[in-house]
Amino acid sequence: MKKLAGKTAVITGGNSGIGLATAQEFIAQGAQVIITGRNEKSVNEAVALLGDNAKGVIADSADVNQVKQLGDKVKAITENIDIIFVNAGVGQFNSADQMTEEMFDDIMNINFKGAYFSLQSLLPLVNDGGSVILNTSINAHVGMGGASVYAASKAALLSLGKNLSAELLSRRIRVNSVSPGPVVTPLHTSDKLGLTEEQLAGMGAGLIQQIPVGRFGRSEEIAKTVAFLASDDSTFILGAEIIADGGMATLKGA
Ligand SMILES: NC(=O)c1ccc[n+]([C@@H]2O[C@H](COP(=O)([O-])OP(=O)(O)OC[C@H]3O[C@@H](n4cnc5c(N)ncnc54)[C@H](OP(=O)(O)O)[C@@H]3O)[C@@H](O)[C@H]2O)c1
Closest alpha carbon to 11 in 46, 41, 49: 46
Which residues, in sequence order, are CB contacts of 105 under 8 Å at separation 6+? none
Q: Tell the residue nearest (CA) to atom 23 of ligand 1.
A: 13
CA distance to 29, 51, 139, per residue, from 136 (Å): 23, 28, 8
Q: How far away, in angstroms, is 164 Cα from ligand 1 center?
A: 22
CA distance to 77, 138, 170, 207, 231, per residue, from 148 (Å): 38, 12, 35, 16, 33
Q: How far away, in angstroms, is 87 Cα from ligand 1 center?
A: 7
The 3-state DSSP class for residue 176 equals: strand
One-letter amino acid for residue 119 of the chain: L
The answer to whether 116 is a known catalytic residue is no
183: number of Cβ within 10 Å: 22
Q: Can you give the residue ranges of every domain in the chain?
A: 8-187+216-243
Catalytic residue among 26, 112, 117, 150: 150
Closest alpha carbon to 40 in 23, 59, 53, 67: 59
Q: Tell the residue nearest (CA) to atom 44 of ligand 1.
A: 89
Alpha-carbon gap, residue 66 to 63, rounded angstroms: 5
Element (H, E) at 144: none
CA atoms within 13 A on the CB side of 196: 3
Residue 98 gets which letter from DSSP? T
The 3-state DSSP class for residue 158 equals: helix
One-letter amino acid for residue 97 of the chain: D
Taking only the tens of pLDDT, the chain with its 254 residues reads 899 999 999 999 999 999 999 999 999 999 999 999 999 999 999 999 999 999 999 999 999 999 999 999 999 999 999 999 999 999 999 999 999 999 999 999 999 999 999 999 999 999 999 999 999 999 999 999 999 999 999 999 999 999 999 999 999 999 999 999 999 999 888 888 878 888 888 888 989 999 999 999 999 999 999 999 999 999 999 999 999 999 999 997 55
CA distance to 47, 61, 185, 247, per residue, from 142 (Å): 35, 26, 20, 12
The pLDDT score that the predictor gives to residue 254 is 55
| Arch. (CATH architecture) of 8-187+216-243 | 3-Layer(aba) Sandwich (3.40)
Alpha-carbon gap, residue 25 to 175, rounded angstroms: 19
- For the stretch 184-227, pLDDT in tens is 999 888 888 878 888 888 888 989 999 999 999 999 999 999 99
Pocket of ligand 1 contains residue 185 by CB under 6 Å = yes
**By the 8 A CB rule, do 40 and 53 touch?**
no
